[in-house]
Chain A
Amino acid sequence: MKTQPKVLTFLTILSVVLFLGALGMVFLFAPIEAVMGYVQKIFYFHISNAWVGMLGFMVAAVSGIFYLVSKDLKWDIVELSAVEISLVFFLIAIVSGSIWAKPTWGTYWTWDARLTTAAILEMIYLAYLLLRQGIEDPERRARFSAVYTLIGVISVPITFLSIHIWQTIHPAVIGVGSSSSQGSFGMTPAMLITMFFCLTTFSVVFITLLWYRIRLGQLAEQVDQLKYKIMQ
Chain B
Amino acid sequence: MIKVHKLIKRFGSKTVLRGLDFDVHQGEFVALLGPNGAGKTTFLRILASLARPTLGSVQIAGYTLPAQAGAVRARLGVVTHLPLLYGDLSAEENLRFYGSMYGIMGLNRRVQEVLDMIGLTLRRRDMVRTFSRGMQQRLAIGRAILHDPEVVLFDEPYTGLDQDACDMLDALLRDVAERGRTVVMTSHDLARVEGLATRFDVLSRGVISASTKRDDLGKNNLLDFYRQSLAG
User: What CA separation (Å) do A139 and B14 show in the bound complex?
Assistant: 11
User: What CA separation (Å) do A138 and B12 show in the bound complex?
Assistant: 5
User: What CA separation (Å) do A138 and B15 show in the bound complex?
Assistant: 12
CB distance from A152 to the nearest CB of B (A): 24
User: Which residues of A (207-232) have their CB < 8 Å from a CB of B?
Assistant: 221, 224-225, 227-228
User: What CA separation (Å) do A155 and B157 show in the bound complex?
Assistant: 45
Nearest A residue to B13 via CB reads A225
* Chain A residues within an 8 Å CB radius of B12: 73, 137-139, 221, 224
User: Which residues of A (97-150) have their CB < 8 Å from a CB of B?
Assistant: 137-139
Nearest B residue to A140 via CB reads B11
What 5 A-B pairs are tightest by C-beta distance, nearest first? A138-B12, A225-B13, A224-B13, A228-B13, A228-B14
Q: In this complex, which of B11, B13, B14 has the most chain A Cβ atoms within 10 angstroms of its Cβ? A: B13
CB distance from A77 to the nearest CB of B (A): 12
* Chain B residues within an 8 Å CB radius of A228: 13-14
User: Which residues of B (9-68) have their CB < 8 Å from a CB of A?
Assistant: 11-14
**A137–B11 CB distance below 8 A:** yes
CB distance from A67 to the nearest CB of B (A): 14
Between-chain CB contacts (< 8 Å), 16 pairs: A73-B12, A137-B11, A137-B12, A138-B11, A138-B12, A138-B13, A139-B11, A139-B12, A221-B12, A221-B13, A224-B12, A224-B13, A225-B13, A227-B13, A228-B13, A228-B14
Nearest B residue to A224 via CB reads B13
User: What CA separation (Å) do A221 and B10 show in the bound complex?
Assistant: 14
The interface of chain B, by Cβ under 8 A from chain A, is 11-14
Nearest A residue to B10 via CB reads A139
- Chain A: interface residue count, which band? under 10
User: What CA separation (Å) do A221 and B14 show in the bound complex?
Assistant: 11
Contact pattern, A 61-82, Cβ under 8 Å of B = 1, otherwise 0: 0000000000001000000000
CB distance from B51 to the nearest CB of A (A): 10
CB distance from B223 to the nearest CB of A (A): 26
User: What CA separation (Å) do A221 and B12 show in the bound complex?
Assistant: 9
CB distance from A142 to the nearest CB of B (A): 9
CB distance from A203 to the nearest CB of B (A): 32
* Chain B residues within an 8 Å CB radius of A221: 12-13
User: What CA separation (Å) do A224 and B10 show in the bound complex?
Assistant: 13
Apart from A138-B11, A139-B11: 7 A-B pairs, beta carbons within 8 A:
A137-B11, A138-B13, A221-B12, A221-B13, A224-B12, A224-B13, A227-B13
* Chain A residues within an 8 Å CB radius of B11: 137-139
Nearest B residue to A225 via CB reads B13
CB distance from A106 to the nearest CB of B (A): 52
CB distance from A223 to the nearest CB of B (A): 9
* Chain B residues within an 8 Å CB radius of A138: 11-13
User: What CA separation (Å) do A82 and B12 show in the bound complex?
Assistant: 20
Nearest B residue to A231 via CB reads B14
User: What CA separation (Å) do A153 and B128 show in the bound complex?
Assistant: 43
Nearest B residue to A222 via CB reads B13
Nearest A residue to B51 via CB reads A139
CB distance from A8 to the nearest CB of B (A): 25
Nearest B residue to A142 via CB reads B12
CB distance from B48 to the nearest CB of A (A): 17
User: What CA separation (Å) do A29 and B11 show in the bound complex?
Assistant: 55
Nearest A residue to B15 via CB reads A228
User: What CA separation (Å) do A224 and B13 show in the bound complex?
Assistant: 7
CB distance from A11 to the nearest CB of B (A): 29
CB distance from A26 to the nearest CB of B (A): 45
User: What CA separation (Å) do A137 and B11 show in the bound complex?
Assistant: 7
* Chain A residues within an 8 Å CB radius of B13: 138, 221, 224-225, 227-228
CB distance from B228 to the nearest CB of A (A): 22
* Chain B residues within an 8 Å CB radius of A137: 11-12
User: What CA separation (Å) do A169 and B102 show in the bound complex?
Assistant: 52
User: What CA separation (Å) do A225 and B13 show in the bound complex?
Assistant: 5
User: What CA separation (Å) do A221 and B13 show in the bound complex?
Assistant: 7
User: What CA separation (Å) do A227 and B13 show in the bound complex?
Assistant: 9
User: Which residues of A (21-70) have their CB < 8 Å from a CB of B?
Assistant: none
CB distance from A227 to the nearest CB of B (A): 8
* Chain B residues within an 8 Å CB radius of A227: 13
Nearest A residue to B11 via CB reads A137
CB distance from A125 to the nearest CB of B (A): 23
